[in-house]
Structure 1
Amino acid sequence: MTDLIETQAPDTARLAHVLHRARAGHALLDATAETAALSLDDAYAVQDRLTALRLDEGRCHVGWKLGYTSAVMRRQMGVSVPNHGPLLDDMVRHDGATAAGFLHPRVEPEIGIVLGRDLSGPGLLITEVADAVAEVRACLEIVDSIWWDYRFSAEQNTADGSSAAGVVLGPALDVDPLRCHRVPVELSEDDVQLATAVSAAASGHPLHAVAWLAAELAARGRHLQAGELVITGGLTAATPLRAGRVLSARFGGRTTVSVRRPAGEPDAGLGAPTAGR
C-alpha cells in the first residue's frame, strides 16, 4: 500500500483516479496519513482530471460552487481562502428532494445565481455582474467530502471539487441582484431553528463572490457562461443531514427550500478510513 500523494511531485492523473474510485466504491480516504504537499495549482489540476472522468461517464457541466466565502465556514473547516468546484447535472435536485446514496452529507444554505449572459474576469464591477444575472435562487448545497471525518487541507478539499455533491434548487427570490446581500436566512432541522445568517456572509455580497470566481477562471483561460448556476458559498456552518430528518432554509422570511434523507441510511466511513493505492 502506498501513499495517496507521493513524496515527489504529485501524479495528478493518478490522484484523480484514486478519488474517483473511492467515491464510486462509497469509501472514505484518510487525508491525515498523506505526507507530501499538494499545491493549489496541483489541486485544481486534480480537480480538472476528476471532472473529466465524470464527464466521460455522460454527465454535463451546469455551473460552479464556491467554498469558504463566509467567515463561519472558514472557521468551521480551518480553511483560510475561498475555492471553487464544478456543478454537474446529476448533482441538481429540486425543493423537497430526497437525498440518498451520499457518503456523510452536510447541508449549507446558499444564494444561487443563474447567469443570463457570459461573464469574463478579472476586474468585474458588481454592477457588471448584476447586469448578467437572470435569477437569484434560494438554494441548499449538499457537501459530501471524500476525506474521512471532513479532515483535509484546503488543497485536498480543492482536489475533491470543494466537496461538491449536490444542490437543491429552490424558488427564485424576488430581489434585485444588487441587493441580494440583504436576505436574512434561517436554517432548521425538522422545524427546529439551528442557525441564522444574512446573505452578505458570502464575500460581503454574493455578487462579489461571482466576480471572484470569474477572475479565478480567467486566470485558467476560462469564463462563466450564460445559463450556468453559481452557488456562492455557505451562509451558516455546514450541518449534517441525518437519516430520517429534514433540513430546510427560509430566505427573506417567506421562501423555503428543503431536503430530506431517508430513514435508516448510514454514513460511510464508520470504520477505519482507507489509503490510496
Structure 2
Amino acid sequence: MRHSKHNPDGDAADQLANELHRARGERRLLDADRTGTALSMEDAYTVQERLTKLRLAEERCHVGYKLGYTSAVMRQQMGVRSPNYGPLLDDMVLRDAAVAENFLQPRVEPEIGVVLAHDVTGTGWLLPELADAVETVHACLEVVDSVWHGYRFTAEQNTADGSSAAGVVLGPPLDVSPLDCHRVTVELFADDTTLATATSAAAGGHPLNSLAWLVDALAARGQFLRKGELVITGGLTAATPLRPGATVSARFGRDVTVSVRGPAHATDASAPAA
C-alpha cells in the first residue's frame, strides 16, 4: 500500500478495507506476507475506519471500543510494542455463557470493561476525572478473531483489521469503584483447569490509564468517546484458543464469573492460508 505519513492513498485504503471485509465474510484467512505489507500506523487506522463503514452499512451499530496490547503479557505474546484500538459493534456484544458462533480462529482473554456516564472529549484527562466519567465497571471476556492466518501480523495489519475485534461477553457490573478497578484479581480457566492469573492493573497499570490512552488517540483523529459507550481496556492475560466444545471462563474477584463456549461443530479456518 502506498502511503505518506499524513495522506494515505485513499484508493489503496478502500481496496484493503474491502479485502478484509470480503475475507471475513467468506471465512477466508489472509497471508500477512502478501497483503497489507506496507502500512504505516496512520494508514492502518484509515483502513480500519473504511472497514468500519462497510460494516455499519450492513445495519450494524457502533457501541464502543476495544483496546489491544495494553498489558505487557499481550504485547509479548503478539510481538507488538504499543497499544491499539478497534471498534465494538452491537452484534459483537454477547450474553454470558454465549456460544461463540461463526468465528475463524477465536481466542479468549479476560478484560475490565467500562460504560461511560457522559461524553469524554479532548486530551489530558487525569484518573480522578476519568473515574467520574465512568458509570459502571464490568467483568468481560473478549473473543478476538484475527483475519490474518495463524495470528501472524504486524501491529499495523492488526490495527487495520480492527485490532481483531470480534466479540465481547459483557459480564455483570463489579462491586468496585472506577478508581479502584485496578485491584481486581482475575483467574482464566478452561474446563476447570487454570490457565493464567493476573490483576486488573495489568491493563496499563490501571484500566483507566488505558482509557486515557484511548481518549488521546481518538482526539488525534478528531474523535471522542460518547455517553453510554462500552470500552474494554485490554487483555489481562495471554489469550487462549477457544476450542470446539470447550468452555473458557474468567473469575473476577471471588464471586463474578464470565464464560464463553466454543460450538462443538466449529471448524478452524487457520489452514490453508489465503
- TM-score range (shorter-chain normalised) is over 0.9
Amino acid at match of 1:265: A
Q: Residues 7 and 170 (structure 1 numbering): CA distance in 2 closer, same or farther, change over 3 Å?
A: closer
Which residue of structure 1 aligns with residue 99 of structure 2? 98
Query: TM-score, normalising length from structure 1?
Result: 0.95
Amino acid at match of 2:190: E
* Structure 1 unaligned regions, length at least 5: none
TM-score, normalised by the number of residues in structure 2: 0.96
Equivalence map 1:1-277=2 (5 Å): 5=1, 11-34=12-35, 36-271=37-272, 273-274=273-274
Distance, in Å, in 2 between the alignment partners of 1:240 and 1:47 is 24
Alignment check: 8 A CA contact 1:121 1:211 kept: no
2:44 counterpart letter in structure 1: A
What is the CA-CA distance between 1:33 and the residue it aligns to? 2.7
CA drift of 1:179 comes to 0.4
**Root-mean-square deviation (Å):** 1.3
Deviation at 1:6, TM superposition (A): 6.0
Query: Does the CA contact (< 8 Å) of 1:7 and 1:35 recur in 2?
Result: no
Aligned residues: 269
Q: Which runs of 5+ in 2 are unaligned?
A: none
Structure 2 counterpart of 1:94, which letter?
A: R
Q: For residues 123-173 of structure 1, give each alpha carbon's deviation from its aligned partner in whole angstroms, at most 9, with x where no partner exists.
A: 000011000111000000000000000000000000000000000000110
For 1:191-236, what per-residue CA distance to the aligned partner results, in whole angstroms no more than 9, with x for missing partners? 1111000000000000111111011111111110000000000000
* DSSP 3-state at the match of 1:128: helix
Amino acid at match of 1:251: F
Q: CA deviation at 1:35?
A: 7.5
What letter corresponds to residue 156 of structure 2 in structure 1? Answer: E
- State whether residues 86 and 161 of structure 1, in contact with CA within 8 Å, keep that contact through their aligned partners in structure 2: yes
Distance 2:3 2:224 in 1: 34
**Identical positions, percent:** 65
* DSSP 3-state at the match of 1:32: coil
Please identify, of 117-126 and 107-116, the stretch whose mean Cα deviation from structure 2 is larger: 117-126
SS at match of 1:44: helix
- SS in structure 2 at match of 1:41: helix
**Residue pair 1:184, 1:251 contacting (<8 A) in 2 also:** yes
